[in-house]
Chain A
Amino acid sequence: MSFLLSCPNCGPRDVNEFAYAGEVTSRPAERPSVRELATYVHFRRNVAGVQQEWWFHRFGCETWFRAERDTRTNAVLATEAAHAEPDGQAAPAEAAVPDVPAV
C-alpha cells in the first residue's frame, strides 16, 4: 500500500502518514435491537469498489477526514474534512461514527 492521500489541510501525502480507521458506518439514531447493534458494531460491507472511509492524519495535522477510495485500485477519488456544524449543534444522527479506537 503506497498510494497518496490528500489531507484536506496538508495536501497529498504518503499514506504512511495516516491512520486508517475503517469504513464510514452509520450509528443508529434510536435504541437499536441487539441485532442492529451487533451489525453496527461488528459488520462491515467490505466492498470491492468505492467506499467512504475515515482517515486520521496521524503524523501530520491530526485532522480526521473522510475519503472516497476504490478498494480495488486504491484510487482516492475525494477527501473532505468532517466539518463541525457552524452553530455547534450535533451533526445529523445518520452521520457516521467509528467503533474502534482510531490508532
Chain B
Amino acid sequence: MRLPPSPEERIDRSRTVTFFFEGEPIEAYAGDTIGSALFAAGRRVFSRSFKYHRPRGLLCCSGHCPNCLMQVDGAPSVRVCTAPVREGTRVRSQNVLGSLDRDLLAVVDKVGGPFTPVGFYYRTMIRPRRAWPYYERFLRRVAGLGTIDKHARRSSRFDTEHRRAEVLVIGGGPSGLDAARAAARDGRRVVLVDEGLALDAQLPREDGFETIAPARAIGIYEGGLVPVDAGDVLLRFRAERVVVASGAIEQPLLFPGNDLVGVLLPSAVRRLTRLWSLRPGERAVVITADDRGLAAAEDLRRAGTSVARVVDLRTTQPAQMAARGSHGRVRSVSVDGDSVDCDVLVMSGGSQPAYSLLAQAGARVEYDGTRGIFVPRDLPPHVEAVGSAAGEGARGAAAVPAASYRGTESGGRCFVCICEDVTDKDVKRAIAEGFDSIELAKRYTTVTMGPCQGRLCHLPSIRLYARETRAEEATIGTTTARPPWAPVRLGLLAGRGHEPAKRTSLHHRHKELGAQMMWTGEWRRPHSYGDVAAEVRAVHEGVGVIDVSTLGKLLVSGPDAVSFLERLYPNRFGDLKPGRIRYAVLGTDAGRIMDDGTIGRLSERDFYVTTTSTGAETVLAWFEWWNAVWGYDVSVDNVTGALAALNVAGPRSRALLARLTELDVSPDGFGYLDAREARVAGVPCLLLRIGFVGELGYELHFPSPYAEYLWDTLLERGADAGIRPFGLEPQRILRLEKAHVIVGQDTDSESNALDANMSWLVKFDKDDFVGKWALEHVRERGPRERLVGFEMANGTVPPEGGQIVVDGLPAGRVTSARWSDAVGKAIGLAWVPPALADEDSRIEIRVDGRLEPALVRLRPFFDPDDERLRA
C-alpha cells in the first residue's frame, strides 16, 4: 500500500509498531499516526457523522475536522489523524451502533422525515409529555460522540505550572519562527509554543529561545495570560507580548456530496503522500479556488493518482457542481453536467486566517470583501499577529460562484457544518423561521458549535447566510470567539487532584486509639473513639480529654487592644481583669453573628482570643480589615498552628491536674472563667477554666510540639481516675445538654445575638461597635424568632433541619438534636416564633411525615444552675 521510500517521508520503515483497532492488530511504522496507519491498512471510513451517521473519512489530516474522532485507550474523541502510533494502543470507533462500515443508526440518513430538519428535537420530542423519559434515553444513547468510562480511575496526573515570558510566540510556522528569532536577537526572553502538528517540518532546536511542542495555546485572556495545553501540564503563561502566528485554515467548498469519503482538503493530500507515502486513490478530480489545490494535484500525480480534471474556480465559474457516491464513498463528480468518475475529490475553498485567539484577546474581526475572508484588525496592546494569521497571503473563495450553493436541488446533501451535520437547507430553514442574526442562527442550527469549533464551517456558514439574506458579509459580522481554541481535557483544567487536610499534632495518637476521623472544615478530627455513650459518661462521672487544637487562637496585643476589641465585639473588655475570661460573639454591621469564642486577658495590653475551628482565618482577616481602617496600635498574631490545646473535663479533672502542676487549682485559687499560666507536667501552659461541655474543666493551650507528650502523660496519670479521650460527637451531646450554641450549626447567616439569647453580652452603652446600629434596630423591632431548647415528649430524635409546625404551617426549624442519657430524653435546639419562646410551650416537630410533640425549654437540660461547671 505504501509508495516507494522518499527522503521526505516521516515513517521509519525499519521499525514497526502494532496497535489494535476494534481488537484487530494493525501494523504501522514508527512515525505513523493512528490515522495514517489505518489508511495504509485500507480503512477509508473513520467515523460516523453526528446526526445522520453518514460515513466519514479523512478530510483535513491536520487535527481540525471531526472526521477521525475515535476512542483511544479509553479517551473519547481523539483525532487519530494526528495521534502518533504507540505499541499496544487500543483504538475503537465511537458514535456507532454496530460497526463503522455497517452502522445501524445510518437509518436516520435514509428515513429522513421528522428526524432530519434542524431543531427537530425542539419540536418533535415534546409530545406526548410522558414519553420524554423514553426520548431522553434514546437521545442520550445516540447523541454525542465518544463515551467516558465513569468508573475509570485517574489515568494520569495533571499539573499546573506558572510561567513567564517576555515574548510568547504561538505557532512555529515560518512567520512564528521569524518573530521568535527577531525577539530573541533583541535580547528578549522568548518562548515559542507549537502544536507539533506541522508534521511537514521539524521545529529547529535553537539557542536564544525556548520551544515547547507539542503544546497548544487554548486562549488569550486579560493580563497577557495564555494557558498552554502541554499534555499533562497546563502552562499558565504570563507574557508581556504575545505574538500570534496561528496560521490559516483550509476551507471546504459547499456543494452536494461535499462530505463523502474521498473528499479531501489539500493538506490531507500533502500529508498522506509526502509524510506517510500513501496514495490517496486511483483517480482524482480537483476543484480549487487557490494554488493549494493545484499543488495538491501535483502531489497526487507524483503519488501515482491520475488527475482526471482540475477545475480552477478563479478562471471558470461553473453553474453546477455535485459529487455523487455510493455507500458513502465518492464515485463521480459532475461540473456543469459533465460527470467524471473518481475516487478522490480535492476541494480547496481558500484559507481563512485562524484569528480566534486574536479575537479572544479583543481584536476586531473584519470581512475583507476582495479576498473573501475575515481578517483581524485593531489588535489590543501587547498582542500582535504575524503571517497568515494576520491575513497575509490567505485568500478565500471570493470567486466561488453562487451556483456552487445550488445544492439540494440537484440531489444529495450539501453540508455547511460537518461536525453537527448542518446542511445548507437547514440554514435556509433557520433563516425562514426568523433566526435572522448569525448568533441566533448559530444557536438554533448549532453550526460552528461542534468539535471543529468553526474552523471549517464559520466562513462558509456566514457566506451562505449573506447570500440567503442578501446581506453583505461585512454587516453580518462573526460569531463570538471564545476559549478554548482547542479541545482540552477537563482533567487538565482541574489540575492535580488533592484534598488538603489540616491535622492536629495528635493526629496519630487519635488513629492509634482507633478514632473514627471526620472532616470539620479543612480539619480532620475524631468523631469518637468507638463508644460515644461511654465517652459522654466518662466526662460526666470521671474525666475525659478532647483535642481542641483546631480552635483558632489569636494574640491581640498593644496599647489599643481594649479599644480595638471593644469596637469589634459587642462585649465589654475594659472591665475584664487580667487573668479573667469572657465569652464573646463577633458580629457584622448587619448585626449577624459571625463567630464566637473566649477572650482571656493575659495582661493590661495582651488578650488571648479563641475562635471557632473553621473561623480562624476569617476572623484574622476580619480583624486586619477593620484595623486597616481604624489604625489602632495593636498587633494580631495567629498562633493557631503554634499552639495545641486539650480540654480536660469532668469532676475528677481537678484532681488529675493537681498531680501534674504546682498551680493552685483549688476552687478559690483557680475559679470558673479564670486564666492562668503554669507548667503542667513540665510543659508551659495557658490554662483556661471554661466549660463548653458543661463539667468542671480546663483548656490547656501549649506549644504544639509537646502535644503527644502531654496527651500521653494525661492518659497515663489519669488512668486510675478512668480518663477517656472523647471525640466530637460526645462533645456535641455534652454541650447540647447545656444548651451551648455552636455558631454555624445553631446560628446561620441571618442570626443575631439578641434573637439567639445572648443579649446579656451586647453592651449598647458603648459608643460604637460593629453591628451596634443593626442590633439597636433589632431591639426596637423586637425578635422575629428565638433560639430555644426543646425536649421531645416521646423520645424520638428529630432530624437536624426538621420543621417546627404551628397550626399546620412551618414556623421554625431544629438546629441540633440528640438523645441524652444524662437527661434521659431526646433534646435539641430550635428556632421558634417569639410567641412560643416560653418555658413549657408546646411545639410540634415533623419527623418522617408525622408531627411529634415537644416542650420548649429555656434553661440548660443538665445542671441548669451550673453547679458542676463552677464547682
Q: A: which residues have CB within 8 A of B?
A: 1-4, 14-15, 19, 21, 27-28, 31-32, 34, 37, 40-42, 54, 56, 58, 62, 64-65, 73-74, 82-85, 88-91, 95-103
- Is there contact, CB below 8 Å, between A41 and B590? yes
Shortest distance between the CB of A57 and any CB in chain B (Å): 10
The listed residue (A2, A56, A91) touching B625 by CB distance below 8 A is A56
CA A32 – CA B238 in complex, angstroms? 47
The listed residue (A32, A65, A91, A101) touching B622 by CB distance below 8 A is A101
CA A58 – CA B630 in complex, angstroms? 20
Q: Which residue of A lies closest to B220 (CB)?
A: A2
Give chain A residues whose Cβ lies under 8 Å from the Cβ of B221.
2
Q: Which of B766-786 contact A (CB under 8 A)?
A: 773-774, 776-777
- Is there contact, CB below 8 Å, between B774 and A41? yes
CA A37 – CA B588 in complex, angstroms? 12
Contact-size category for B: 20 to 34
CA A56 – CA B621 in complex, angstroms? 8
- Is there contact, CB below 8 Å, between B773 and A37? yes
- Is there contact, CB below 8 Å, between A102 and B631? no
Given A2-B223, A85-B631, A90-B630, the answer on whether A102 and B625 have CB atoms closer than 8 Å is yes
Shortest distance between the CB of A84 and any CB in chain B (Å): 3
Given A31-B773, A37-B777, the answer on whether A91 and B631 have CB atoms closer than 8 Å is yes
Q: Which residue of A lies closest to B615 (CB)?
A: A101
Given A88-B633, A89-B631, A99-B589, the answer on whether A37 and B774 have CB atoms closer than 8 Å is yes
Give chain A residues whose Cβ lies under 8 Å from the Cβ of B773.
28, 31-32, 37
- Is there contact, CB below 8 Å, between B559 and A103? no
Q: Which residue of A lies closest to B622 (CB)?
A: A101
Q: Which of B531-579 contact A (CB under 8 A)?
A: 559-560
Given A85-B631, A102-B618, the answer on whether A34 and B777 have CB atoms closer than 8 Å is yes
Give chain B residues whose Cβ lies under 8 Å from the Cβ of A96.
629
Shortest distance between the CB of A89 and any CB in chain B (Å): 7
The listed residue (B222, B621, B626, B629) touching A103 by CB distance below 8 A is B621
Q: Which residue of A lies closest to B591 (CB)?
A: A41
The answer to whether B131 has its CB under 8 Å from any CB of chain A is no
The residue among B223, B628, B776, B777 with the most chain A CB atoms within 10 A of its own CB is B628
Give chain A residues whose Cβ lies under 8 Å from the Cβ of B622.
101-102
- Is there contact, CB below 8 Å, between A64 and B618? no
CA A95 – CA B628 in complex, angstroms? 10
Shortest distance between the CB of A28 and any CB in chain B (Å): 7
CA A4 – CA B625 in complex, angstroms? 22
- Is there contact, CB below 8 Å, between A101 and B618? yes
The answer to whether B481 has its CB under 8 Å from any CB of chain A is no
Shortest distance between the CB of A90 and any CB in chain B (Å): 5
Given A2-B222, A3-B223, the answer on whether A97 and B589 have CB atoms closer than 8 Å is yes
- Is there contact, CB below 8 Å, between B631 and A83? yes
Nearest first, the 5 closest Cβ-Cβ pairs linking A and B are A84-B631, A82-B628, A88-B633, A64-B628, A2-B225
Give chain A residues whose Cβ lies under 8 Å from the Cβ of B632.
84, 88, 90
CA A73 – CA B380 in complex, angstroms? 12
With contacts A82-B629, A84-B630, A88-B633 known, what are 14 further pairs, Cβ within 8 A? A2-B223, A2-B225, A14-B238, A32-B773, A37-B773, A37-B777, A42-B590, A74-B223, A90-B632, A91-B630, A91-B631, A97-B626, A100-B588, A103-B617
- Is there contact, CB below 8 Å, between B621 and A14? no
The listed residue (A34, A90, A99) touching B631 by CB distance below 8 A is A90
Shortest distance between the CB of B619 and any CB in chain A (Å): 8
Shortest distance between the CB of B35 and any CB in chain A (Å): 35
CA A74 – CA B221 in complex, angstroms? 11
Give chain A residues whose Cβ lies under 8 Å from the Cβ of B777.
34, 37
Shortest distance between the CB of A25 and any CB in chain B (Å): 10
Shortest distance between the CB of B776 and any CB in chain A (Å): 7
Shortest distance between the CB of B620 and any CB in chain A (Å): 8
Give chain B residues whose Cβ lies under 8 Å from the Cβ of A89.
631
- Is there contact, CB below 8 Å, between A101 and B588? yes
Give chain A residues whose Cβ lies under 8 Å from the Cβ of B624.
56, 62, 64
28 A–B contacts from the bound complex (CB under 8 Å) = A2-B221, A2-B222, A2-B225, A3-B223, A19-B621, A21-B625, A27-B589, A31-B773, A41-B590, A41-B774, A82-B629, A84-B630, A84-B631, A88-B559, A88-B560, A88-B633, A89-B631, A91-B630, A95-B629, A96-B629, A97-B626, A98-B626, A101-B588, A101-B618, A101-B621, A102-B618, A102-B625, A103-B621
Give chain A residues whose Cβ lies under 8 Å from the Cβ of B225.
2
CA A32 – CA B772 in complex, angstroms? 11
Shortest distance between the CB of A35 and any CB in chain B (Å): 11
The answer to whether B162 has its CB under 8 Å from any CB of chain A is yes
CA A98 – CA B621 in complex, angstroms? 12
Shortest distance between the CB of B504 and any CB in chain A (Å): 22
Shortest distance between the CB of B742 and any CB in chain A (Å): 18
The answer to whether B446 has its CB under 8 Å from any CB of chain A is no
Q: Which residue of B lies closest to A25 (CB)?
A: B589
- Is there contact, CB below 8 Å, between B222 and A3? yes
Given A31-B773, A101-B618, the answer on whether A84 and B589 have CB atoms closer than 8 Å is no
Shortest distance between the CB of B273 and any CB in chain A (Å): 43
The answer to whether B594 has its CB under 8 Å from any CB of chain A is yes
B626-642 toward A: CB 8 Å interface, digit per residue (1/0)? 11111111000000000
The listed residue (B238, B559, B588, B776) touching A99 by CB distance below 8 A is B588
Shortest distance between the CB of A29 and any CB in chain B (Å): 10
- Is there contact, CB below 8 Å, between B628 and A101? no
- Is there contact, CB below 8 Å, between B631 and A74? no
- Is there contact, CB below 8 Å, between B621 and A102? yes
CA A33 – CA B559 in complex, angstroms? 33
Shortest distance between the CB of B791 and any CB in chain A (Å): 35
Give chain A residues whose Cβ lies under 8 Å from the Cβ of B222.
1-3, 73-74
Give chain B residues whose Cβ lies under 8 Å from the Cβ of A31.
773, 776
CA A98 – CA B623 in complex, angstroms? 11
Q: Which residue of A lies closest to B219 (CB)?
A: A2
The listed residue (B618, B621, B631) touching A62 by CB distance below 8 A is B621
B569-606 toward A: CB 8 Å interface, digit per residue (1/0)? 00000000000000000001110001000000000000
Q: Which of B349-406 contact A (CB under 8 A)?
A: none
CA A37 – CA B771 in complex, angstroms? 10
CA A27 – CA B630 in complex, angstroms? 12
Shortest distance between the CB of A72 and any CB in chain B (Å): 12
Give chain B residues whose Cβ lies under 8 Å from the Cβ of A101.
588, 594, 618, 621-622
Q: Which residue of B lies closest to A56 (CB)?
A: B621
Give chain A residues whose Cβ lies under 8 Å from the Cβ of B621.
19, 56, 58, 62, 64, 101-103
Q: Which residue of A lies closest to B560 (CB)?
A: A88
Give chain B residues whose Cβ lies under 8 Å from the Cβ of A54.
625
CA A54 – CA B621 in complex, angstroms? 12
Q: Which of B201-243 contact A (CB under 8 A)?
A: 221-223, 225, 238
Q: Which residue of B lies closest to A73 (CB)?
A: B222
Give chain A residues whose Cβ lies under 8 Å from the Cβ of B776.
31
B603-618 toward A: CB 8 Å interface, digit per residue (1/0)? 0000000000000011
CA A31 – CA B764 in complex, angstroms? 12
- Is there contact, CB below 8 Å, between B589 and A40? yes
Give chain B residues whose Cβ lies under 8 Å from the Cβ of A64.
621, 624-625, 628
CA A42 – CA B588 in complex, angstroms? 12
Q: Which residue of B lies closest to A27 (CB)?
A: B589
Give chain B residues whose Cβ lies under 8 Å from the Cβ of A14.
162, 223, 238
CA A68 – CA B222 in complex, angstroms? 17
CA A28 – CA B773 in complex, angstroms? 10
CA A100 – CA B617 in complex, angstroms? 14
CA A73 – CA B381 in complex, angstroms? 13
Give chain A residues whose Cβ lies under 8 Å from the Cβ of B617.
103
Give chain B residues whose Cβ lies under 8 Å from the Cβ of A32.
773
CA A37 – CA B776 in complex, angstroms? 11
Give chain A residues whose Cβ lies under 8 Å from the Cβ of B625.
21, 54, 56, 64, 98, 102
- Is there contact, CB below 8 Å, between A41 and B589? yes
Q: Which residue of A lies closest to B559 (CB)?
A: A88
CA A32 – CA B771 in complex, angstroms? 12
Give chain B residues whose Cβ lies under 8 Å from the Cβ of A21.
625
Give chain A residues whose Cβ lies under 8 Å from the Cβ of B560.
88
